[in-house]
Amino acid sequence: MIIVLKNNTTPEQIEAFSKKLERDYEVTVSVSYGQDSIVVGVMGDTAGIDIGTVQAQSVVRSITRVQEPYKKVNRKFHPDDSVIEIGEGCRVGGGGFTLIAGPCAVENEEQIAGIAACVKRSGACILRGGAFKPRTSPYAFQGYGAEGLELLRHARARTGLPIVSEIMAPSQLPLFEDVDIIQVGARNMQNFELLKCLGKVDRPILLKRGLASSIEEFLMSAEYIAASGNDQVILCERGIRTFETMTRNTLDISAIPIIKKVSHLPIVVDPSHAAGIPWLIEPLSMAAIAAGADGLMIEVHNDPANAMCDGAQSITPEHFDAIARRVREVAPIFGKTFA
Ligand code: PEP
Ligand code: MN
In the chain (339 residues long), the average pLDDT of successive 10-residue segments reads 94 95 92 89 90 93 93 94 91 96 98 98 98 97 98 98 98 97 98 98 98 98 97 98 98 98 98 98 98 98 98 98 98 94
Burial of 6 (0-12, 13-18, 19+ CB in 10 A): middle
Q: Which residues pair with 28 in a beta bridge?
A: 43
Ligand 1 center to 238 CA (angstroms): 8
Measured from the Cα of 239, ligand 1's closest atom is: 9
Q: What is the pTM of this model?
A: 0.95
The pLDDT value recorded for residue 36 is: 82
The pLDDT value recorded for residue 89 is: 81
Measured from the Cα of 130, ligand 1's closest atom is: 3
The pLDDT value recorded for residue 35 is: 81
The pLDDT value recorded for residue 88 is: 80
3 state SS of 168? coil
Please give the Cα distance from 97 to 123 (Å, whole number).
Answer: 10
The pLDDT value recorded for residue 198 is: 98
Ligand 1 center to 187 CA (angstroms): 8
Ligand nearest to the CA of 210: 1
The pLDDT value recorded for residue 81 is: 96
The pLDDT value recorded for residue 52 is: 92
Ligand 1 center to 52 CA (angstroms): 49
